[in-house]
Amino acid sequence: MLTPSAKALVPFVSVDHMMGLVHHIGLPRVLRELADCIEDDFRRWPHFDKTPRVASHSDVGVIELMPTSDGELYGFKYVNGHPGNMRSGLQTVTAFGMLARVDNGYPVLLSEMTLLTAIRTAATSAMAARHLAPKGATTMAMIGNGAQSEFQCVAMQAICGISHIRLYDIDPVATAKAARNLAGSGLRITACSSPEEAILGAQIITTSTADKQYATILTDNMVGAGVHINAIGGDCPGKTELHPDILRRSSIFVEYPEQTRIEGEIQQLAPDHPVTELWEVITGKAAGRTESRQITLFDSVGFAIEDFSALRYIRDRIVGTPYFKPLDLLADPDDPRDLFGMLARATPSDVT
């Protein structure tokens, strides 16, 4: 049997591996560590290659590639978004990603990213709230109780100290699911029958709905002064959650304006409407929350640098653990110029 050399083996993190690693470390700790890792990369934002995601849209969903590089490592994520999948018992979002060395192009990690995307999205939300939300916030309204909701709640607890979650979803079954999953988290959970009820007393409002349409989950009269809004459901053209008058009253913070103006809540506004890039707040280049009655809005659509951070975190965290498998992904001929010879010398008995 032909045995691939070590340099041709790529660590592969499967879904089972990812679940094992998260349980091994503990989800709250993973969220805290990943938020710090993402923040570290936001602090060196100018060093990254940045481009809006490469998207292929259809009537039923979107398939996207999200690439970036810091000059030493290159990373990309493949991700889909198909809201109708749930009717067929399929995930709305699935993903996988790869990290590679820039100097020789060789991959150093291949990983599932369906779970990891949910975790990094929640870590990014809480990292942003750490800089933008009212100090001492204790209560969050979680509007949209699908696959992302519990991760958001645990992240806000672990990173921002939130202790009370007010849940609402148009589907009461989803709310019951989220309440059940969060029952042992230490959070106080209130299931609500309307979005108006959910936002009562909340200093942070997170919206995470899935319908691919211009929707008004929050109307202007629902949002009072001093709150922080974490809008993560609007993530493609033609899909929003907030009434545009809310945006006009808010200080808006984004990941990458060129992408957010196409896919985020601000697609409803004029192309020159002022926004602040989150990395500028983190580095002190721009102000975040400046007064108590200010409405801050993190218009988050997800950006490749966050996936890069997540892959970098996983690459480092699997070292010395059983939560990966060396994958024979790359051809490795003895003579790099003799790929044909490597194939010709192989026999059926060499293949397992």
CA distance 219 to 246: 7
Q: Is 4 helix (H, G, I), strand (E, B) or coil?
A: coil
Asked if 180 and 244 touch (Cβ cutoff 8 Å), the reply is no
CA distance 127 to 104: 33
Q: Which of 90, 109, 206 is nearest to 148 (CA)?
A: 206
Q: Catalytic residue, from 169, 235, 299, 307: name it.
A: 235
Provide φ and ψ at 217, rounded to 5°.
-75, -40
CA distance 91 to 65: 18
| 239: Cβ contacts below 8 Å, ≥ 6 apart | 211, 212, 213, 214, 215, 233, 263
Whether 235 is catalytic: yes
Q: Which of 290, 246, 291, 289 is nearest to 269 (CA)?
A: 246
| 125: Cβ contacts below 8 Å, ≥ 6 apart | 152, 155, 156, 206, 230, 232, 298, 300
Give just the sign of the alpha carbon dihedral 224, 144, 233, 18.
positive
Active site residues: 235
